[in-house]
Chain A
Amino acid sequence: MDAFQSLMQGFSGALIPINLLVVFLGVTAGTVIGMLPGIGPINGIAILIPITFALGIDPTAMLILFAGIYYGAQYGNSISTILLNVPGTPSSVATALDGHPMAKSGRAGPALAISAIASFVGGTVAVIGLMFLAPVLSKWAIRFGPAEYFVLILFTFTMLSALSGKQFIKGLLATGIGLMLATIGIDGGTGIPRYTFGHLAFYDGLDFAVVTIGLFAISEVFLLIEQTQTAGEVNTKLGRVMVTLKEFLSCWWGMIRSAVTGFLIGVLPGAGATIASFMAYATEQRLVDKKGTFGTGDIRAVAAPESANNAAVSGALIPMLTLGVPGSGTTAVILGALLALNLNPGPLFIVQHADMFWTLIASMYIGNIMLLVLNLPLVGLFVKVLLIPRYILVPGVAMISYGAIYAASSSMTDLMLMTGFGLLGYLMRKTDFPLAPVILALVLGPMMETSLRRALSLSNGDWGVLFASPLVLVLWGLVAVSAFVPLIRTLRRARQYNDSEQH
């Protein structure tokens, strides 16, 4: 088999000591970067680029290094998310929904372990996909125009009910808050500033990291302070460190499904890991959550988004390598570095630089295994974070959050905004409002708006464009199923209830 032979050649390239070292450095650095909220792989890689140029590192090794940081960061991200409820990026918000409740109930070990395993599964499935499907999928990415994006995002929104738990109306209100926040900033379609009140700081809109860390981490700090005042020290149990076989098996198919979803969504330029992780969470909730335990610390709800966001990260490499179009902010930075080395990713890349492509693929297999080996034994160490006494933990979380945001933007306004969102998050939690829909709406709202407007602008105002391609019709079908099935189910349940009342 052709691909297999090429892969073997790739391994022979990836297994030379310098490349092994580079993979190791990449994934380790990635894990650390991912653990620190707000820094993220984009900044990490952008800062490393001039250094690697100065050191004159071989281009293949450089690509391996950057890819390692990129997918390694997704592993690391889940650690601070689960333990401290500090999701560093929007793509790990879905993990926080059940990951942090697990940690609170003394199951931090299994949560971290399953997230490492799920990341491995997602990463591996995606690498296999990357290997066989890269050229085919690049065509699928081209067919995705603004109309398709619009309906895809609409589809994601119909799944929102999964994130709201039993508080459906409150979930809708939270979505509304997110959508309103999303309109702040310069409108790309007209160049007109909206809701900026003349302040330059608002021109780019709100930074996701500021809102996410504010809503989740800072509100957590407020809650912890309150608990120390009212309930005194809460005894933290550590519990076991590993997942049981039973837990693992309960997650297995969910991880596979999520990996496929994540990979396919990751391939679409711009859609990325956030949509993938939320969609995986919502799908699993509909498929397997019979007892309504999602949202309260269900291990399957940690496995699904973690698998999906890792798969999405590898998927995002496809449009970059095969079309020369970056699928995410991080791949845009990597693309810039490759261009500077006179390597032009694009339709001819896999042919012209076959050895490089296959070495990268092989290195990703190795990197994923390294991450698993690196992360699983460290789970025991990471969970000890929970033993840190409150009087150190609370200021610690606050310091990391403020430090990370300030390091990224050096803006006082961002710090004040983050504090404001911390207060908002605190109030929302006190009144049982779900936080995740705010983030999802903030990420998706602008994408949905601009996609619709782009579609209409390209079609010169003809709404028919929203129904013009087979792909878009399939997506409408998904929207219909996703919006009506729960409704029908609810109605049927209500009827059954009525029937049983009458008899």
Chain B
Amino acid sequence: MKMLKVFALVCAFLFVQQSAMAFEPRNVLCIAPSDPGGGWDFTCRNMAPILSDLDLVKGRIRTQNMPGAGGGVAYAHVVGQQKGNANLLVAASTATTTRLAQKMFQGFDADDVRWLAALGADYGIVAVSPNSRFKTLDDLVAALKDNPAGMSFVGGSAVGGWDHLKMLMLADAAGVENLKAVRYTSFSSGGPAIIEIMGGRADVFTGDVSESLTQLEAGSLKVLAVLGDARLPGVLADVPTAKELGYDVIGANWRGFYLPAGVSDEQYAYWSDAMKKLAASEKFKTLREQNGLAAFERTGTEMDEFVLNQVKSLEKLFARMGQ
């Protein structure tokens, strides 16, 4: 009995002690909501450890793969069972927000977690075969207006996924009324979709820069427009943005993190500050460039707002598609 009392006292003391101190993450776990390999896994295994290198997190950050439902299993786990756990990061990207906008994480919404940061983005491209009948984006848009079903789009995401959305956003900006008529064929990833372009069986690829770099350098794909704020460096320096050409479409596939709901404002502030420092570090910039990601930074409440707005506008687009 006495032992128990002492134990309770020690516990209480430790508790008071801890809450009095400033927040300091320990034993941090990063959940990659997919199998090893791929973007989310990369976010956890390559981006997050820089936090340790910069001494923003003590000790190594462990990665746990929690595949399922395109991130839905991890989302349900974090919302349902990790409330208030400030030592948990979860990798996310545009794929997460498109699924939220489609209500594919059944019973869960975008405001069920706290969006922490976007660190770098992969910009979308509109690409065709070098000997395609479309020489410019204007050619393509004119043909699309004339007959929305007259060409086939391919991409590496499911119908309703990011590559499909970029196509819809482009058609929308071009003034195509009947969005449902535009044909999109989905492939399991960018690679096989590019093969369809190279084999002459499909017309337009609306993937991202990073998955098509090799083909761009070899000249087996021709990019009509980049869906970014500004022109990209490197191989794509001569390619105009869709915005330059008069179509207001930005397709930035961002990579970043969210935290469970219920973390304190102090903890949230700590993390968003840490993410800012991470984004500014040389080590991160090198990593980002090596992986074909462009600069794209949103942290803290700015990120939270950005995501909630993105989900809202995607919901509108889906509503027009009748999905």
Contact = CB atoms under 8 A, between A and B. Distances in A.
25 contacts: A42-B35, A42-B37, A46-B45, A47-B36, A50-B49, A145-B196, A186-B69, A188-B188, A189-B186, A200-B76, A200-B106, A269-B191, A270-B188, A270-B192, A324-B214, A324-B215, A325-B191, A326-B189, A333-B37, A336-B37, A336-B42, A347-B220, A409-B67, A411-B73, A458-B152
Interface stretch (B156-164, B247-255, B271-279): B156-164
A329 to B, nearest CB: 7
Contacts of B195: 141-142, 144, 269, 323, 325
Interface string A346-365: 11110000000000000000
B218 interface: yes
Given A339-B214, A347-B218, 20 more contacts: A50-B49, A141-B195, A142-B198, A144-B199, A188-B159, A191-B102, A201-B68, A203-B72, A269-B192, A270-B188, A329-B37, A332-B37, A339-B213, A348-B217, A408-B35, A409-B65, A457-B184, A458-B154, A458-B201, A460-B149
Contacts of A141: 195
A339 B291 CA distance: 7
B43 to A, nearest CB: 12
A204 B217 CA distance: 34
B301 interface: no
A128 interface: no
B105 interface: yes
Given A142-B199, A188-B188, A457 B49 contact: no
A270 B196 CA distance: 13
B69 A458 contact: no
A49 interface: yes
A189 B189 contact: no
Nearest to B219: A347
B185 interface: yes
Given A50-B46, A191-B158, A198-B106, A204 B41 contact: no
Contacts of B323: 191
Contact of A344 (B45, B49, B149, B213): B213
A46 B37 CA distance: 5
Contacts, number: 151
A388 interface: no
A200 B149 contact: no
Nearest to B194: A325
Interface residues of B, number: 57
B191 A340 contact: no
- Report, nearest first, the 4 A-B pairs whose CB atoms are least far apart: A46-B36, A324-B214, A203-B69, A346-B214
A49 B32 CA distance: 15
A32 to B, nearest CB: 17
Given A46-B37, A190-B159, A269-B191, A458 B185 contact: yes
Given A50-B49, A326-B191, A457-B185, A203 B68 contact: yes
Contact of A188 (B183, B186, B210): B186
Interface string A38-53: 0000110111011001
Nearest to A407: B65
A200 B290 CA distance: 34
Nearest to B210: A339
A341 interface: yes
A429 interface: no
A454 interface: yes
B66 A410 contact: yes
A325 B105 contact: no
B253 to A, nearest CB: 15
